[in-house]
Chains A and B, each alone.
Chain A
């Protein structure tokens, strides 16, 4: 698998610094699980974070901080989240959010054979799985702010090019794109958008068209 569309440097840096909204960090972590190149670049930014930490300001710890720390080592330590495992086409981080593999996803229809599933992430951005039958197009959709689209299965093409598994498209609100799934496998993507979009299924179709969401 050759990945041709990678994450941008500012995105990798923001991820390494821990500043991305959760939905974006999910797409980034999922891409990194498929792309050694971006994983390595993210690692480089973490090294910068480490160097800054090492050179950074010290703020004195309270009295007996070390004694408290040592005493704590005998007691219960902070619980760790269990590590998710990859499931089918879902790399581990995504499988963790879905709670399983493709069969686990609860899709909602959004018209034209296209389906979506919204994943539970924190405020500020929204993550969705999108299912586009081979050969079909997602209706024009604009969005506010940045949208990331990561291909998990199949491929799609739009004005910016062709995207296969592992490729990630970064688009901003200036772009109104019409991704079309290519022939072959149905296309499944993970997306994150900066501003929560309205759920298409809840809005009358006419209004949808008019609002271009």
Chain B
């Protein structure tokens, strides 16, 4: 089940959304430049360099920005952003638009590069799931996920400034070990409870949207 793997706590709602009309519209209009998943599928299936170039123009500067916020200097961030985009090309065969958005996928590659290059540490990855016999590519999964991704982006943008900043900091901040103690929750720190509030709000916002639309 895609939903249970991708984004359940934020995303179970997309299940409820079930807006067939919208999906059909998305299918019809999927050729525009911001169909990142479609572009990455073209990279995956046809080694399409033009599609790669569009992805590069959008994501490379964002990856560089993320890496600099995480503490990299400009030159290192530029190099690592190049690496991230090269990995995107190299691993495109693993991309499944029903399981993750392109932004999420790029984020995980960038995060791992950050750990590797900036922190000089290793990161343990969970075991790859056995998906069983290759499933038919399911377009409705992919569209549901795209829709959910858009909702998440909107919910994030709608968060009040301070809460948004807290979530950003939790993701981007290069935390000291003392702060990790607060971050990882024990002993309970104010940071933790505030982040929790922000996340709750994010969830509520997405749930409300769904309710309003079904």
Contact = CB atoms under 8 A, between A and B. Distances in A.
A121 to B, nearest CB: 8
6 contacts: A17-B170, A17-B171, A21-B180, A51-B104, A59-B61, A146-B186
Contacts of B9: 40-41, 44
A68 B89 CA distance: 14
Given A44-B10, A52-B171, A57 B123 contact: no
Interface residues of B, number: 84
Interface string B2-17: 0011111111000000
B187 A50 contact: no
A189 to B, nearest CB: 16
A49 interface: yes
Contacts of A80: 87, 90-91
Contacts of B8: 40-41, 43-44
Contacts of A202: none
- The 9 tightest CB contacts between A and B, nearest first, are A50-B104, A29-B124, A10-B185, A50-B103, A92-B127, A33-B127, A58-B61, A32-B126, A172-B186
Contacts of A162: none
Contacts, number: 241
A86 interface: yes
**Of listed B49, B53, B104, B153, residue having the most chain A CB within 10 A:** B104
Interface in B156-195: 156-157, 167-168, 170-173, 175, 177, 180-181, 183-187, 192, 195
Contacts of A48: 10, 152, 156, 167, 171, 202
A209 B124 CA distance: 34
Contacts of B196: 9-10
A174 interface: yes
A19 B122 CA distance: 11
A18 B111 contact: yes
B106 A50 contact: yes
A13 B195 contact: yes
A56 B66 contact: yes
A124 to B, nearest CB: 5
A184 B105 CA distance: 43
B149 A51 contact: yes
Contacts of A58: 61-62, 64-65
Contacts of B49: 70, 73
B156 A22 contact: no
A69 interface: yes
Contacts of B95: none
Interface string A56-91: 111111100110111011000110100100100001
Interface string A7-47: 01111011011111110111011101100100111111011
Contacts of A52: 66, 107, 156, 167-168, 171-172
A19 B180 contact: yes
Interface in B48-96: 49, 52-53, 56-57, 59-66, 68-69, 74, 77-78, 81-83, 85-87, 89-91
